[in-house]
Amino acid sequence: MDDINRNAPVLTDLGPRDPDPDTGLEWWRGKVMYQIYPRSFMDSNGDGIGDLNGITAKLGYVADLGVEGIWISPFFTSPMKDFGYDVADYWDVDPVFGTLQDFDRLVATAHDLGLKVIIDQVYSHTSDQHPWFTESREDATNPKADWYVWHDPKPDGTPPNNWLSAFGGPAWTWDGRRRKYYLHNFLASQPDLNLHNPEVQDALIDVMRFWLERGVDGFRLDAINLGMHDPKLRDNPPVPDDGGPIIKPYYMQQHKWNLSHDDMPEFLTRLRTAADAYGAVFTVAEIGGVDVRPVQMAYTSEDRHLSAAYSFEFLSPVMPTAEQIAESLDPWPDDPLEGWPAWAFSNHDAERIANRWNGGELDPAWARLMGLILLSLRGNIFLYQGEELGLPQAHVPFERLQDPEALANWPNTMGRDGARTPMPWVADHPLGGFSSAEPWLPMDPHHLPLAVAAQEDDPDSLLHWTRRLVALRHASPALLSGTMRFLDAPKGVLAILRESVDESIVGVFNIGEDAVAWTPPDLEIGEVLAAVAPAGSPAHAGARDQAPSGDIPEVQGAVSSPLPPAAGYLARCTVSESGS
């Protein structure tokens, strides 16, 4: 299979990856990308599962958002134990999603619409059905014997150490054929690759080249800091007991030795060197764990590693305070060569932001404010499908659950299925126009009034608001790549100053519980670019309906009156000498 796919026809047009003509920056720097979870985006063939042709059919909608590109979650051949993150063939498309030719058409259509194409790559592990693992488990002398992490048991027959799987239980499973334990940080059907092995690195670089030659513009590297383990297999230390409830044993360990190995940046340098032969390729790392800022910076520093990295700090179920958000963002240096972040408030692994940080309530002003904050941050921005519609977390009954994490930990966790339900395209069909057949996950009826068609017809909708914010960001040098510093502000208020050579923009966002009468000192507030406030608040009349364009009047209500909770604004400003 590998040999057949390696020799498949490739695209001759790799797509333009020139620097941005307006800023001179790399085409990806600071831009907004749109994540597509293919199983749930659009079904083109009536089997209840989204597919590549469904994505292609809706690329015009994505292009109208104004985003720079799309990130497509895995569509490779897979037994789907973890819905594509268990890859059985890196070189081919799973039949449920289509064919390589379907993918080629998707890339060509995207490029015709001015969209870049970013795809997931899962380099930390494979499926246990991958031919590499099939060969590796046969014996200790075959050519791929050291392509996975194998180890003898302890004298008492137990696993080599105390490492735990993120999905529950030990991170080791006994294999009767090899007569050793193999490592898996996720499901037992997802054995970890041994990225310490140069041959494994070579094979993965070949995979990357294969997709680049098909016209792909970049990669999101899944769980990449789990790709290298401590060769000494030292036990992870426990997390100090804080008296809180035990959610699952995995969180009771400090994952010191099974992730973020010091040798990983050198492998990333090899990836970058190979990618550079294809022009400016965008690469972004997913970094799991706690206190990961040094890892993110190490993976993106200098001009020889990855483009960007993001973590899960804004994907957690607990709403951070304004002060905590500032603490998370502030350490990033102004020099991109010292590291470049990426930010997401929602994705396929987290509860949707529309009601995650708002006590479970669906508040249109809150959804708008979250979009305003996200699109103001320094770094690359990822929007997850449906986030532009304000979709809340869907309810999935137990009997319809698919997520292995949810099934293993029910009812302590609701899992990830509620963020993966089908995209609603129209409101007047029980399946939302996603499919003509019952979908693999149910369409939440609460999503139907928020469908794309309904919001297209409403100029005040969150969809149109998101389009305006994306346009504002992409037209602003300060928001794309300018410096960011945090202003001292009252409790509950997040205040940032974004500056480039020719532009200064201040953002003030009230994510607290009380109204706050405050304006940033040492700044002269000018044109308000975008503002939001809850319906019925004193600021609402001035804030609503404002679009980021050059002729917006100042929204005096949002700036001068007490700023209510779930309200905020972006405005041009002049910095006084005392404030600079």
Instruction: Return the active site residues.
Output: 222, 286
Residue 210 is inside which H or E element, if any? helix 198-212
CA distance 544 to 535: 9
| CB neighbourhood size of 414 (10 A) | 20
Give phi and psi for 523, each to the nearest 5.
-130, 140
**Residue 116 belongs to what H/E stretch?**
strand 116-121
Q: Identify whether the C-beta of residue 543 lies closer than 8 Å to the C-beta of residue 562.
A: no
Task: Read off the tokens for 286.
Answer: 């997913």
Instruction: Identify the CA nearest to 563 among candidates 424, 369, 410, 332.
Output: 369
CA-nearest of 90, 71, 54, 69 to 16 is 69
Enumerate residues 6+ apart whose C-beta is below 8 A from 330: 485, 486
Strand order in the sheet with 180-183: 150-151, 180-183, 172-175
Q: Which tokens hold the place of 578? A: 């005392």
Q: What are phi and psi of 542, to 5 degrees?
A: -85, -30
Residue written as token pair 């016209």: 215
Q: How far apart are the first and last CA of the chain?
A: 61
DSSP letters, 43-82, are -SSSSSS--HHHHHHTHHHHHHTT-SEEEEPP-EE---SS
Kind of pairing, strands 523-532 and 567-575? Answer: antiparallel
Counted residue by residue, the chain has a size of: 580
Select from 209, 187, 96, 170 the least CA-distant residue to 133. Answer: 187
Number of continuous H segments (helices) and E segments (strands) in the chain: 17, 18
Which of these, 98, 57, 59, lies nearest to 75 by C-alpha position? 98
Rounded Cα–Cα distance for residues 198 and 387 (Å): 40
